[in-house]
Chain A
Amino acid sequence: MSTQHMPLWEVFIRPRTGLHHKHVGSIHASDAEMALQAARDVYTRREEGNSIWVVPSKDIIASDPDKAAENFDPAGDKVYRHPSFYDIPDEVGHM
């Protein structure tokens, strides 16, 4: 068996023009060109999109799940960032 591992790529697909590319999964391939080809075969068999990005998995920098609380909890008590926090009389109508 080959000792060298086939590199891993993350696959992002845009379902249609006007939307974001969205992560759909990953694929093994020797280079970017083969990764695009494999991503097309594996992830777009049913018109799932019109554009594909592939990114080497090793180049993705992820936030640390152990720090999820300190990273994301501070936003939890800031209800004043949402429109429903503010009392507006009904007579004003839609605002």
Chain B
Amino acid sequence: MYSQGLIGADTTTEETEEFLAAFQARIDREEKIEPNDPMPAAYRKTLIRQIGQHAHSEIVGMLPEGNWITRAPSLRRKLALLAKVQDEGGHGLYLYSAAETLGVSREQMTEELLCGKAKYSSIFNYPTPTWADIGAIGWLVDGAAIMNQVPLCRCSFGPYARAMVRICKEESFHQRQGYELMMALAKGTPEQKEMAQDALNRWWWPSLMMFGPSDSDSSHSDQSMKWKIKRFSNDELRQKFVDATVPQAELIGLTMPDPDLKWNAQKNNGQGGYDFGEIDWSEFWRVVKGGGPMNKDRISARQKAWDDGAWVREAALAHAEKRRTRAQAATLEAAE
């Protein structure tokens, strides 16, 4: 994305102390870093990893919701879900393009996803057994994603920041349609309300885990904050999400599955906020490392899509080549 000439270009840098200090000074002045600018190899590597993971999450994230498109209970819900899943695909493409400006190819990123080297958000390794899960994903998963993504609109790397501006604009409908769906179920029959509560029970804790490990255990945080790739720590964003979401649940008569959740007027420098229970980090790490209920299904679905599409990609390239040689021959003939 955003005009490069970079792929194949020499991106090696001589990282003297002066070079690193000059780079940090640019960051501190809030200058955006653009693809062809000199940058430390570690900055490039961090961004390739982060933007790649982000792109993969959008693409894999289409799977749990895509599961319900054919069974949406009304045309209105079906239209919304189709549009949302299509958006996720678009978001994946914006992000892959942003990562490609750093010199990594789309094919390489796809291979790393399929072989398990690249990660994606572990939230998508949970199943969607009921229709209420679609509401819970929009409300909680997209809600948590927005919390993470809004500060990324000010990320120091230009192409990533610009992609995020576009994504955030589109994302807010995702959360609203999810909450509206949950609200409808919560106001419905006792069975419908129970279904909504059950989905909330299953998605609440994994949503809190989406912000990543606690600040004290996060390996990438400090340097990313210094480089202004991240603007807030994992724990700060998680707290903002809890504070924003708990009242939304109360409003529609649903209960967070956390007995330790309670208002604390001292929190957030006296502005007040919610204390919440301990997150089960062993579950988080188990799912990240491939032990979630759907890890195998997700990757095999991506592998199948990639394999099944291979002949289409090859045919399209062969067709383009054939047309190009024919057009060249016709031009030569006309010139004679």
Contact = CB atoms under 8 A, between A and B. Distances in A.
Interface of A: 1-2, 4-6, 8, 10, 23, 25-31, 34, 41-42, 45-46, 57, 60-62, 64-65
A25 B94 contact: yes
Interface in B200-245: none
Given A1-B107, A5-B106, A5-B107, 15 more contacts: A2-B314, A6-B316, A23-B2, A25-B1, A25-B94, A25-B97, A26-B2, A31-B316, A41-B90, A42-B90, A45-B90, A60-B3, A61-B5, A62-B4, A62-B5
Contacts, number: 70
B86 interface: yes
B86 A27 contact: no
B260 interface: no
A40 to B, nearest CB: 11
Interface residues of B, number: 33
A64 B83 CA distance: 40
B317 A27 contact: no
Contacts of A10: 3
A45 B169 CA distance: 12
16 contacts: A1-B110, A2-B313, A2-B314, A25-B1, A27-B93, A27-B97, A30-B316, A31-B324, A34-B316, A42-B90, A57-B3, A57-B4, A61-B5, A62-B36, A64-B36, A65-B34
A65 B105 CA distance: 22
B93 A42 contact: yes
Given A6-B106, A30-B319, A31-B323, A25 B2 contact: yes
A50 to B, nearest CB: 18
Contact of B170 (A8, A28, A46, A60): A46
B58 interface: no
Contacts of B170: 45-46
Interface string B253-266: 00000000000000
B323 to A, nearest CB: 7
A64 B34 CA distance: 12
B101 to A, nearest CB: 9
Interface string B308-319: 001001101101
Contact of B310 (A2, A8, A29, A61): A2
A36 to B, nearest CB: 13
A24 B271 CA distance: 40
B89 to A, nearest CB: 8
Contact of A6 (B2, B34, B317): B317
Contacts of A60: 3, 5
Nearest to A34: B316
B171 interface: no
A32 to B, nearest CB: 9
Given A4-B317, A6-B106, A30-B317, A45 B2 contact: no
A51 to B, nearest CB: 19
B37 interface: yes
